[in-house]
Structure 1
Amino acid sequence: MTLNFLVAPDFPPQNFAGWHMFNTVLQKRSGLRLHLLMPQNATEQSEQLASGAVDVLYANPFDAAELIRDQGFIPFARPVNRSNEMVIATSAKADQVNTVEDLKSGVQIALTANHDVKLIGLRLLEPADVTEQDVQWELVDSYQAAARLVIQGKVDAGFFLATAYHSLSKLTKSQLKPLIESSLKNISHVLIAHPRVANDIAVIKTAMLGVGAQAGDADVLQAMGLDEGLEGMEQEDAEFMIDLMDTLRD
């Protein structure tokens, strides 16, 4: 049997090859056949999830919360010291905008379909008295596209996953000005599995958590952008994260 392993499409382009390397290592060590799914955007990911064919998923926290609570997906691992922080940034040329409080009702913001980033970003906008209804949203497929719109002055600011922002090229970042970065610590991507493959989770988990212990593993993790590897995650840990996200929504 082949298990479909989907990776959420919100990592920097330079990490693409790393996930393929990781999948190859997992197959060798687990003895399982894993078919890697790398959707290009959130729409394609939604279509693949809707097909019911996804067995294992590296999900952003918003999608993980929904799949755990609504479809019974089982959480079993998460990145070590890799919380999902986000950055609000504007153009370096925006002399009149230096803090979040300088953003006003009607502000134009570029963002991807990452709901967790939007959720945290809206919380960070509260000091400016700007709500979701006060924003003109510009949806884009990637953080690179969001950066381009900000730099070109087509929007006032952008919402970025912090790891994606810090992975932008030096030239790109030199044309941006970060206004604020979150520091929540307890929200992260999560590895989850469909209930139908519950019997395979122990094998997959052991293989995943073991990457980092053998020669050459550090190169794989670095290529993925997860230098410290993965750690186990229990159901109660996932529920705590979900509760925190619910608090952010309220």
Structure 2
Amino acid sequence: MTLNLLVAPDFAPENFPGWYMLATLLQHRSGTRLHLLMPADAREQAQMLADGLADLVYANPFDATAMIRDQGYRAFARPKAHSNEMVIATAAASPADHVEDLRPGCRIAVTDNRDVRLVGLRLLEPADLTEHDIQWEPASSYQAAARMTLNGQVDAGFFLASAYHALARITRERLKVLVESRLRDISHVLLAHPRVADADLAPLAQALLAVDPADTGDAQVLQALGLPAGFEPMEREDAEFMIDLMDTLLD
């Protein structure tokens, strides 16, 4: 059979080929054909999901929360040792050295990633800034957010930590981290649509969880993917804990 795997469009561009390498590996080991859906942005992702095209989804934690709770998706795996931390950064020449230096009316570049925005707002609490104190400047990608920050179009940018650290070295040298989160328990999640039977999912899930960082060939795939530790099972209790944590961030 063939399963369509939709990958959230918030991974670093250099990891794009890694998904095709992983799909090839999993097809060979599980006997299940995988067709990748790679939306360019959150809007295209939402349309693909609305059209019912995805059997499996590599979802960010905000989307995963809604999909599990409201649409009956079930979590079966997540990246191992790879939580969704976020960074607030400004230009290196900025007078701001801490989040407390940001003032009401400040301009912040932000992508469509709601989980990053939620965590970022929590990190801004020491500055007594709420969502309504900020002029939000939409960025099409984390690379675009970095350009806007460096060009002085905004006072700071919100970044997924893995995307920030994957920016070109010359770009990071011109930026300054104001704060980086340490939540640990929020991550992207692999979800299965309710229509996917356990018997159809099991071979693929087993193959995914067996991808071994200690194996040279497997390690090359995981490095290309930007997930060097591989994947681990995600139980229902783990998913519920993450959902509770996301609810706390929303409050």
TM-score grouping bracket, smaller chain normalisation: over 0.9
Residue 35 of structure 1 is matched in structure 2 by: 35
Unpaired runs of at least 5, structure 1: none
CA–CA separation in structure 2 for the residues paired with 1:184 and 1:198 = 33
Match of 1:236 in 2: 237
2:23 paired residue number: 23
1:78-157, aligned counterparts within 5 Å?
78-94=78-94, 96-157=95-156
List per-residue Cα deviations over 1:17-63 (Å, max 9, x = no partner): 01100000111111111100111111111111110110001100000
Q: Distance in 2 between matches of 1:184 and 1:131?
A: 20
Show CA shifts across 1:127-172 (max 9, x none): 1011001111111111000000000000000000000000001110
What amino acid sits opposite 2:18 in the alignment?
G
Cα displacement (A) at 1:214? 4.5
> Partner of 1:224 in structure 2?
225
The alignment-based identity, stated in percent, is 64
Q: In 1, Cα distance between the equivalents of 2:215 and 2:125?
A: 46
TM-score w.r.t. structure 2 length?
0.97
> d(CA) in 2 for partners of 1:87 and 1:198?
38
2:96 is matched by which residue type in structure 1? V
Deviation, structure 1 residue 111: 1.0
Q: Which stretch shifts more, 183-192 or 197-206?
A: 197-206
In structure 2, relative to structure 1, the CA distance for the partners of 1:2 and 1:91 (3 Å cut) is same
AA at the equivalent of 2:166: S
Match of 1:159, SS?
Answer: strand
The whole-number CA distance in structure 2 between the counterparts of 1:41 and 1:11 is 11
Give the TM-score, by structure 1 length: 0.98
CA distance in 1, matches of 2:232, 2:211: 10
**Length, aligned pairs only:** 249
Give RMSD over aligned pairs: 0.9
Structure 1 runs of 4+ aligned residues shifted over 4 Å read none
